[in-house]
């Protein structure tokens, strides 16, 4: 009985050290990517469809840049119109 009790105590005391590496492994954050890994060796089932995200990203980039160019050209047109009007007014009034 005494032997069984000491084995039980030893097991209880030793169990955290046996489980600790497993817990530490489970608690590890996702690995940071430090190098390029080629795709050829992967099975097809592991390649999740990514086309919608890719298309959304590229569409957004194109729209943002196109929108910005339009915005700048509209502002430039407005400024040019102002400039022409003011230069005409100055010529007419003889100021400046």
Partner 1 sequence: MFAVSPFVIATSRDEAELGMVFKIFYYHMPSAWMFLLSAIVCGIASLRFLFSGDVRRDRTAVAAAELTVLFGLITLVTGPLWARRSWGTWWIWDARITASLVGWMIAWSYLIVRKYGGPGSDKLAAGLAIFGMANVPFIYISVNFWRTIHPATSVVPTLPVDMSWRLWFCVASFTLLYVLLFKLRVYLEEERSRVDTLYLALER
- For 90, residues 6+ apart whose C-beta sits below 8 A from its C-beta are 96
Question: What is the Cα–Cα distance from 69 to 62, expressed in whole angstroms?
Answer: 11
| Residue of the chain from 9, 53, 66, 70 that contacts partner 1 (CB under 8 A) | 53
Q: Is 89 a residue that touches partner 1 (CB under 8 A)? A: yes
Residue 22 Cβ, how far from partner 1 at the closest point, in Å? 21
Let me know: does 96 contact 90? Beta carbons within 8 Å: yes
Stretch that binds partner 1, among 5-13, 17-25, 86-94 (CB under 8 A): 86-94
Question: What is the Cα–Cα distance from 86 to 89, expressed in whole angstroms?
Answer: 5
- Which of 57, 76, 56 is closest to 68 using CA atoms? 76
Q: Is 58 a residue that touches partner 1 (CB under 8 A)? A: yes
Residue numbers of the site for partner 1 (CB under 8 A)?
Answer: 29-39, 41-42, 47-48, 50-51, 53-54, 56-58, 60-61, 64-65, 68-69, 72, 75-76, 79-80, 82-83, 86-87, 89-90, 93, 95-96
């Amino acid at each position: 009985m005494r032997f069984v009790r000491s084995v039980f105590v030893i097991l209880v005391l030793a169990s955290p050290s046996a489980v600790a590496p497993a817990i530490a492994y489970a608690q590890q954050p996702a690995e940071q990517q430090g190098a390029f890994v080629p795709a050829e060796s992967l099975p097809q089932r592991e390649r999740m469809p990514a086309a919608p995200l890719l298309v959304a990203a590229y569409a957004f980039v194109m729209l943002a840049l196109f929108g910005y160019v339009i915005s700048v050209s509209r502002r430039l047109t407005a400024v040019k119109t102002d400039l022409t009007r003011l230069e005409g007014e100055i010529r007419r009034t003889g100021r400046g």
